[in-house]
Amino acid sequence: MHPLWHQLHPHQRQFLTQIARIIADLGWQGYLVGGGVRDLWLAHTQNQTITLPDIDLVLDQAPPHALTELIPLITALRPGATVQPHPKFLTCDLHWSDLALDIALARQETYPHPTANPIVTPATIHQDLYRRDFTINAMALALPPGDTLLDPLGGQNDLQKQYLRVLHPHSFRDDPTRLWRGVRYGVRYGLTFAPETLGQWQDTLASGVYEFWRQQPGQAPALQTRLRAELTYLWQTAGWVRAGRWLEALGAWACIHPELHWTGALERTLRYASYGKFPPTCRTELLLSYVPAEAREPVACNLHLPLGAQKRLGQLTTLESHLPLLLDLSVSQICQKLDPYEREFLYGVLVRQRGKTQKILWHYLQHWSQKTAPLNGEDLQRLGYRPGPEFRRILAQVRSAFLDREITNRTEAITYVTQHFPTAEPGQ
């Protein structure tokens, strides 16, 4: 058994050993690949035992039906998995509460054009390693009791040098999200891009290929759904602020829009959002609020954000232009202006504001919006008013008076109703 296996927690090592026996009985060879090998190598250098949250396995030269045979045997070995096959990509995902396992046939990829989804075909384990993003993720460790470590591209050497190195000159042209993943790896592991890799990124960015394909609807998933996924991973990264600044230094935000930049104002807004525990989708929405107003909704559509997010970004300019007018309004008038908007939307606007407008939004969301009239429909019926459309107008006016402190309790509210709505005579 290769020494790297001793860095893996015994429970996971036992599970993989059981899977290895099943694969061997079927006549195939399995490998741990990608980030798992990288993390075991790093753990070995620090004499640590680790548990992998994500495990990627590759079957070398297995037949096309291999996954169909193997997956039921694994789920019987460890029940409770959610199984998601991806036959187009020759892979299958299994998810338990504490583990994500991806099993794939060894494959190679060709890209019809830059930023497209790859076309996947069966291959050998060596060819599989050559399709990966960085050398540090292009290693394969034979499942136990095997002791073979495949490292044809020098991943161990680059880990020692703390380098991120792509595998071929067209790597970023094929898939710009590789740079985003590289930045996350760099922040997490203290790595930097190898000089030639940095040059390849700069040349690709300067070529204009991303801007060209970004404007081709539905033709550039690496600049759409895959990039949106990378943004979600970014917000989940402990060093997301450093990553954001690094992406700015690399010019990578242009992949979303050429005028999007990681400014101090954007960073402060996202920091405020992180304190409020905004979900990752909301942080992406806030990010897009810093592209030019006319581009917000189209960019959100391009990234396949939910329709609600697209709508909110389209409304943002109008609402923010009206916010200064709130300074001269009463509390009830402010509520009338803001009540039609979703709270999620207003929280997003809140973290973008500064000064008095931010304070007004904060008071609205924390206090005023939650205040209701000290009377309800049943109270009005007891006072002798007949149910009907008029109820809503009466209660709205009572709430306004309550918000503006013209009344402060239920007794005063009853008096207010009888004085202001004399035409609605009891019993008629």
Compute CA distances 312 → 24, 315, 349, 358, whole Å: 54, 5, 10, 18
Compute CA distances 355 → 79, 299, 324, 336, 350, whole Å: 55, 29, 11, 21, 10
C-beta separation of 364 from 344 below 8 A: no
DSSP state of 90: T
Q: Is the dihedral of CA 118, 122, 123, 125 positive or negative?
A: positive
Residue 393 lies in a domain: yes
Rounded to the nearest 5 percent, the helix, strand and coil shares of the chain are 55, 10, 30
Residue 404 lies in a domain: yes
Residue 141 lies in a domain: yes
Which of 131, 161, 191 is a domain's end point?
161
Long-range contacts for 280-283 (Cβ within 8 Å, ≥24 apart)? Answer: 280/231, 280/232, 280/235, 280/236, 281/232, 281/305, 281/306, 281/309, 282/344, 282/347, 282/348, 283/231, 283/235
Residue 114 lies in a domain: yes
Q: What is the pLDDT of residue 281?
A: 73
Residues in the chain: 428
Separation between Cα atoms, residue 303 and residue 31, nearest integer Å:
34
Terminal Cα distance for the chain, rounded = 91
Q: What is the pLDDT of residue 387?
A: 84
Residue type, position 129, single letter? L
Among candidate residues 78, 85, 119, 91, the one with its CA nearest the CA of residue 34: 91
Separation between Cα atoms, residue 184 and residue 190, nearest integer Å:
10
Which of 130, 161, 192 is a domain's end point?
161
Q: Number of folded domains in the chain?
A: 2
> Would you call 354 exposed, middle or buried from its count of C-beta atoms within 10 A (0-12, 13-18, 19+)?
exposed
Within 10 angstroms of residue 386's Cβ, the number of other Cβ atoms is 13
From start to end of 129-205, where are the E strands?
140-142, 149-150, 163-164, 192-193
Within 10 angstroms of residue 153's Cβ, the number of other Cβ atoms is 21
Instruction: Give the range of the structural domain holding residue 392, as residue numbers without chain letter.
Output: 377-420
The CATH code of the domain that includes 10 is 3.30.460.10
Those residues whose C-beta lies under 8 Å from the C-beta of residue 93, and which sit 6 or more positions away, are 83, 84, 85, 86, 100, 101, 102
Which of 139, 161, 183 is a domain's end point?
161
Q: What is the pLDDT of residue 427?
A: 46
**Both structure tokens of 78:** 């460890």
Beta-bridge partners for 54: 100
Q: What is the pLDDT of residue 66?
A: 95
Separation between Cα atoms, residue 44 and residue 8, nearest integer Å:
9
C-beta separation of 393 from 424 below 8 A: no
Separation between Cα atoms, residue 176 and residue 384, nearest integer Å:
69
Q: What is the pLDDT of residue 277?
A: 67
Q: pLDDT tens digits for the chain (428 residues)?
A: 899 999 999 999 999 999 999 999 999 999 999 999 999 999 999 999 999 999 999 999 899 999 999 999 999 999 999 999 999 899 999 999 999 999 999 999 999 999 999 999 999 999 999 999 999 999 999 998 888 999 999 999 999 999 999 999 999 999 999 999 999 999 999 999 999 999 999 999 999 999 999 988 889 999 999 999 999 999 999 999 999 999 999 999 999 999 999 999 999 999 998 887 677 778 999 999 999 999 999 999 999 999 999 999 999 999 999 999 999 999 999 999 999 998 889 999 999 999 999 999 999 999 999 999 999 888 888 888 888 888 888 999 999 999 999 999 999 999 999 899 875 444 44
Q: What is the pLDDT of residue 261?
A: 98
Separation between Cα atoms, residue 362 and residue 365, nearest integer Å:
5
**Which helix (H) or strand (E) covers residue 6, if one does?**
none
Residue 227 lies in a domain: no
Residue 140 lies in a domain: yes
Q: Is the dihedral of CA 56, 57, 63, 69 positive or negative?
A: negative
Separation between Cα atoms, residue 185 and residue 26, nearest integer Å:
36
Residue 115 lies in a domain: yes
Residue 329 lies in a domain: no
Q: pTM score, two decimals?
A: 0.88
